[in-house]
Amino acid sequence: DVKVTQSSRYLVKRTGEKVFLECVQDMDHENMFWYRQDPGLGLRLIYFSYDVKMKEKGDIPEGYSVSREKKERFSLILESASTNQTSMYLCASSLDSSGYGYTFGSGTRLTVV
């Protein structure tokens, strides 16, 4: 089975800190994604990457950046964390760009205080 591993299950950071959320997949998938999940809003796409060093903005990229230096790793970066970025963050990967065959990680619940 494909595994998508998010390095932290829970994270607490202070306002203004630089925050890194890490995601690693073990099945050589081309595509990786970062979603944010908030109650009543569902999942919203922040950024995605379809190749190493490539990235594309999703629906809500403001306040975030990403890095993909290796195929298996996709990092989400909050340059200066704010309280409105308190949320559940979900990473996913997929083999191709057809839109199906996503595998999700278990999520990182980030609290910014």
Partner 1 sequence: AQSVTQLDSQVPVFEEAPVELRCNYSSSVSVYLFWYVQYPNQGLQLLLKYLSGSTLVKGINGFEAEFNKSQTSFHLRKPSVHISDTAEYFCAVTRKYSGAGSYQLTFGKGTKLSVIP
Interface residues toward partner 1, by CB under 8 A:
4, 31, 33, 35, 40-45, 48, 50, 56-58, 90, 92, 97-100, 102, 104-107
Residue 18 beta carbon to partner 1: minimum distance, rounded to whole angstroms = 25
Q: Where are the beta strands (DSSP E) in the chain?
A: 4-6, 10-13, 19-25, 31-38, 42-49, 56-57, 64-70, 73-78, 87-94, 103-104, 108-112
Nearer to partner 1, 17 or 38 (CB): 38
Nearer to partner 1, 75 or 89 (CB): 89
Give whole-number Cα distances, 41 to 30, 44, 88, 92, in Å.
27, 8, 12, 18
Nearer to partner 1, 28 or 56 (CB): 56
Residue 50 beta carbon to partner 1: minimum distance, rounded to whole angstroms = 6
